[in-house]
Amino acid sequence: MWVVGVGYKHEHRDPAGENAKADILGLGSYDVKNVKTLQTYVIDGDLESGDAERIGRELLADGVIQYFKFSHFSDDGSHAAFASASNAWIVEVFFRPGVMDPVGLSVASAISVLGVKSVRSVRTGTTYVIEGDLSESEVKAICEKCLANDLIQTYAYRRI
Amino acid sequence: MDARHIELLGKSDTELLEISRMFMLALNLEEMQKVQDYFKRHGRNPTDIELETFAQTWSEHCVHKTFRGNIEYNGQKINNLLKSYIIKATNDLRMPWCVHVFEDNAGIVEFNDKHNIAVKVETHNHPSALDPYGGAGTGSGGVFRDVMGVGAKPIMSTDILFFAPPDYPHDKLPKGVLHPKRLMKGVVAGIRDYGNRMGIPTANGGFGFHEGYVGNPLVYAGCLGIMPKEKYVRDAKPGDKIVLAGGRTGRDGIHGVTFASLELSTDSKKTSSGAVQIGNAIEEKRVLDGQLKARDVRDVPLYSAITDCGGGGLSSAIGEMGKKTGARVWLDKVPLKYDGLEPWEIWISEAQERMLLAVPEENVAEVLEIFREENTEANVIGEFTSDKKLTLMFNDKTIGELDMGFLHDGFPKAEKKAVLKISEKKDPDLQDQKDFGMDVKALLSSPTIASKEWVIRQYDHEVQAKTVIKPIQGLGGPGDACVLRPIYDEWKGVVVSNGYNPRFSGNPYNMALSAIDEAMRNNVCCGGRRIALLDNFSWGNPEKPDRLGALVEAVKACHDGSLAFCAPFISGKDSLYNEYSLGGAKDTISIPYTLVITAVGIIPDVRKAVTMDLKMAGNPVYMVGETKDEMDGSHYYMIKHVDGGTVPGVDLAKAKESMDSLVEAMDAGLVRACHDCSEGGLAVAAAEMCFAGGLGMRIDLDNVQQKCIVKNHKLLFSESNSRFLVEVAKGKEDEFENLMGSHVSRIGEVTQRNNLLVAGLNGRAIIDEDIDDLRKAWRKTFDW
């Protein structure tokens, strides 16, 4: 399994991140300096790293304003380290198993159109990089009240 | 996989109820007894799938027990609220342009000599409360399929949303309830993604905010489609194959309603793919393209009937389609998303993006090939028979057999009691003020009135290139209705608008009349006429007599309004039981009674459609209609935190006459701009026209036609019905006044100055505000 993350280049705005930051600040007085997002795609299939790079470059990222990174998917979330920041929390939000993921379906069929035929499925999610001085319980509250809907999504967080 | 037999014969009443509860059937004792009788007559016990079929077919969602049941109201017996009032008005009006009304998935009216339009509005409240994004998206997908289910092509969507105020305090939020701001963002994103991805413009809509929606947000999704007249078919014949096209079937939406009524626990870790679904618009687009091809590839459609799989899934769709003939279904032939589904789960699954077609044997191969070409699945899953029975099979074994007649007509009529409670309220009689500028700005910033540009810019309202009059007009002002040109080489257009006044719930009869008047008004503002109406009720628990009494009053108003305006109802829907409890209280509170009226008119030439932005300095400004002391439920009292007075009523004869004359004036080219006076009254309407046109306006309240008002604030902010502000072309004053007769008063003129200037009853200026400041106030609330 591979994971590809797509974020906005430093010099470009990240509207989803700005939106998330505004929503978090709307919840209460949290010390949040910045929020960045990466659209995250977990690709289940026997890929070469060259395939993963091609999928990122030709399909998932808009090279003008976005960058992408990829790595092997790991359950402990260490792949998320490709989100560069310090003194930050990383939050990953994914759909629960069984929930329809139409974007994932479209990406899977597009990968096959690219000529990469070994992909079984694609799940999409969002990685948030939240910079700021936050306690674990605060991060948990932010996830529950704002970033993930427990009914259809799961979330995981860790500090970097 | 096999069906289970359930011991029903010989069970006591308590045991029957226990069975209903255990299998989540939501059938009451009387209904369970009827089912028991049926199987006693047949001398056997039912299978699980048979019980589920009754539960689905007899559910509130499918048969509208309240609207079709018996009601005792103030000593009066009402047998079938829907037939006695709403459908009765339509039947009495006998409009020749009503083609199929109240009988199919959507109401169908004539558009021109070759085409009909189909319209439907639905609610998707519970799913949207749980998962706003998925709930609203599947709501859109569902209403698009309703229009596809009569064979029409969806060409626009309209969505009306109700939430608690977006600044609702987090600490007051009941447990397990999502914050209104989060709900609103999710719902808007769901509607956006489904409509935009499918290429259907979301070109009209509305918002209402009230604390009463905190536990029960309301999401109304509407859709309008167009179709060639001769392509409407609805006649499944014995021998026709049942073809299921589109998405695969999974456990989606099984017992969704029951799930929704449980309290949500925050530590719930189970997979809840059952009740909550996310739509796949791309799949629905493929199905749509396939079905249009199957419709148009020959002179007559390749299918003999078509419908969508919505609430109740296959059980409702096939049950309904095969009502007159009979049907045999091979459930093992239904393609599944994953293994392990029980036959009854396949039968009632509400998986999205599925359409059901009845296809004559000789066309089956061609239909299947058409869907394959569109990259979607289609499979034969059964056939229509002539035995008037519903037969369910799995791997060649019969697992259910029911009489269609009993299934559709056997349910016991509900008996309910209703009373009316209206409390008289004293008017708070506010002090006069020297200046009302701050009040106008506060009203413009209040959520219901404030600019929804943040929402509108996310929706694609232009795709398909048919939208003529769009949601934002002039330099930025709120349009009253949307005008579409459905056929590219004709100027004839469709006008779509909505009306709703939940703040007038204190008097349900007047609330409903106001909603009708507002929907009509908005339509007329753009030049709409020959108007058809749709009703959509979201209400509290109808088992409580006061809620039901209010419903009866609102339904009576629909009847009276429809007849008076000569505007027949063509379709409708209801969502009842919208109640919640605050802070663990035992008694639940109803949402404000919310009736959304959707009006669909036509305009012979879209080039004559009128917008609301002021056009030229020097033009006179007229007011149509009379302003009355009707302040209860007004936005002005809301921002002043006071309560009382009278809810606005409608003088139906005058309203009809003045609207007809106004349309005539538009056709004669006398009207340059027109806007209705609704939330916030005259002052807000005038402000909106100013900043939309980038021009000023001078108004003298002394000249406003009114009844017994001595206070400035009532003239400025009363929300009396049937009123319009109209900018008339200079030099056409006499012509306009002759046409409008006693319905108009000349109250001011458009000015070159950049301000809204209002002279009060004492002759002094009571509002003098820069239009840029007014626009800023209007825009700031949803600057998200």
Do the beta carbons of residue B683 and residue B675 sit within 8 Å? no
Report which DSSP code applies to B336.
Answer: B
CA-CA distance, B494 to B599, in Å (whole number)?
10
Size of the A and B interface in Cβ pairs below 8 Å = 63
What structural domains does chain B harbor?
A: 1-46 (no CATH), 66-230+467-473+481-608 (3.30.1330.10), 233-264+271-410 (3.90.650.10), 610-784 (3.90.650.10)
Per CB-CB distance under 8 Å, the chain B contacts of A96 are 271-273
Q: Rounded to whole angstroms, how far apart are CA atoms A80 and A75? A: 10
d(CA B199, CA B374): 16
What pLDDT, in 10s, does the model give residues B428-478? 989 889 999 999 999 999 999 999 999 999 999 999 999 999 999 999 999
What is the spatial distance between Cα B528 and Cα B521, in angstroms, rounded to a whole number?
9
Average pLDDT value for residue range B1-13: 88
- B303 min Cα distance to partner chain A (Å): 29
Nearest by CB to B266, which of A98, A101, A150?
A150
In angstroms, rounded to a whole number, what is the distance separating the alpha carbons of residues B215 and A54? Answer: 47
Contacts of B96 (CB under 8 A, 6+ apart): B110
Q: Which of A97, A105, A144 is facing B280, going by the closest CB pair?
A: A105
- B661-708 pLDDT, tens digit per residue, is 999 999 999 999 999 999 999 999 999 999 999 999 999 999 999 998
Whether the per-residue pLDDT at B253 is higher than 80: the answer is no
Domain residues of chain A, as ranges? Answer: 2-159
Check CB contact under 8 Å for B784 and A22. yes
Mean pLDDT of chain B: 93
Which residue of chain B is at minimal alpha-carbon distance from A100? B278
Q: What is the pLDDT of residues B130-151, one digit of tens each?
A: 899 999 999 999 999 999 999 9
Residue pointed to by tokens 């005259």: B682
Nearest-CB residue to B278 (from A19, A27, A102): A102
Q: Do A149 and B178 touch (CB under 8 A)?
A: yes
Inter-chain residue contact B352 with A99, CB threshold 8 Å = no
HSE-CB at B586 with a 13 A cutoff on CA atoms is 0
Instruction: Determine the Cα–Cα distance for residues B55 and B300; give it in Å rounded to an integer.
Output: 36
Q: Which two tokens stand for residue B307?
A: 């419908």
Measured between beta carbons, which residues in chain B are less than 8 angstroms from residue A25? none
Rounded to whole angstroms, the Cα distance separating B390 from B393 reads 10
Put simply, the answer to whether A105 touches B273 (Cβ < 8 Å) is no
pLDDT of residue B259: 45
Measure in Å the smallest separation between the Cα of A34 and chain B Cα atoms.
Answer: 17
Contact: B271, A145; criterion CB under 8 Å:
no
A2-159 topology per CATH: Mth169; Chain: A , (3.30.1280)
* Min distance B201 CA to chain A CA atoms (Å): 20
Average pLDDT over residues B191-202: 97
Cβ within 8 Å, pair B272-A27: no
Chain mean pLDDT for chain A = 90
H-only helix segments in B379-436: 404-409
Task: Report pLDDT for B263.
Answer: 35
Q: What is the 3-state secondary structure (H, E, C) of B551-603?
A: HHHHHHHHHHHHHHHCCCEEEEEEECCCEECCCCCCCCEECCCEEEEEEEEEE
pLDDT of B267: 34
Torsion of CA A47, A48, A51, A57, to 10 degrees: 110
Q: Are B473 and B612 within 8 A, CB to CB?
A: yes
Residues of B belonging to the active site: 61, 124
> Which one of A19, A101, A106 has the shortest CB-CB distance to B282?
A106
Nearest residue in chain A measured CA to CA from B259:
A151
Mark yes or no for CB contact B273/A22 under 8 Å: no
Contact B182 A146 (CB under 8 A): yes
Q: Give chain B positions within 8 Å (CB) of A99.
A: 134, 271, 273, 276-278
Tokens standing for B125? Answer: 């409240």
User: Shortest Cα distance from A69 to chain B (angstroms)?
Assistant: 26
Per-residue pLDDT band at B265 (split at 50, 70, 90): very low
CA distances from B730 to A107, B452, B654 (A): 59, 32, 26
pLDDT at B256: 53
Are B687 and B441 a contacting pair, CB within 8 Å?
no
For B670, phi and psi rounded to 5 degrees?
Answer: -90, -20
Q: How confident is the model at residue B584 (pLDDT cuts 50, 70, 90)?
A: low
Best mutation target among B128, B282, B336 (most A Cβ atoms within 10 Å) is B282
Q: Name residue A58's beta-bridge partners.
A: none
Give every CB contact of residue B447 below 8 A, 6+ residues apart in sequence: B165, B166, B207, B209, B781, B782
Cβ–Cβ gap A98/B130 under 8 Å: no
Cβ distance B278 to A95 less than 8 Å, yes or no, reads: yes
- At B358 the pLDDT is 98
pLDDT given at position B33: 95
Residue type, B1: M
> Within 13 Å, how many C-alpha atoms sit on residue B741's CB side?
8
Judging contacts by C-beta atoms under 8 Å, the chain A residues touching residue B782 are: none
Given an 8 Å threshold on Cβ–Cβ distance, is B182 in contact with A98? no
Nearest-by-Cβ selection for B277 from A26, A28, A100: A100
pLDDT in tens, B623-647: 999 999 999 999 999 999 999 999 9
Q: Alpha-carbon distance B479 to B526, whole Å? A: 9
- Cβ neighbours of B173 (radius 10 Å): 16
At residue A147, the pLDDT reads: 95
Q: Which residue from B minimizes the CA distance to A147?
A: B182
Which range has the top average pLDDT, A2-11, B60-69, B526-535? B526-535
Shortest CA distance from A102: residue in chain B = B280
Name, in order, each residue with C-beta under 8 angstroms of A117's C-beta and a sequence gap of 6 or more: none
Give the Cα separation of B580 and B346 in Å (integer): 32
Query: Between A101, A146, A151, which is nearest B276 by CB?
Result: A151
Substitution target from A106, A152, A153 for chain B, most B beta carbons within 10 A: A152
Confidence of residue B275 (pLDDT cuts 50, 70, 90): low
Q: Do A100 and B268 touch (CB under 8 A)?
A: no
Using an 8 Å CB-CB cutoff, list residues of chain B that contact chain A. 130-131, 133-134, 170, 178-179, 181-182, 185-186, 250-252, 264, 266, 268, 271-273, 276-283, 352, 784
What's the mean pLDDT in B504-514? 96
Tell whether the model's pLDDT for residue B272 goes beyond 60: no
Of A23, A102, A150, the CB nearest to B281: A102
- Mean of pLDDT values over B309-330: 93
Closest by CA to A68, choosing from A160, A147, A17, A3, is A3
Question: Tens of pLDDT along B53-101?
Answer: 999 999 877 788 899 999 999 889 999 999 999 999 999 999 999 999 9
CA distances from B713 to A58, B434, B679 (A): 62, 10, 14
Q: Which residues of A touch B (CB under 8 A)?
A: 19, 22-23, 26-28, 95-102, 105-106, 144-146, 149-152
Question: Between chains, do B273 and A96 touch, taking CB under 8 Å as contact?
Answer: yes
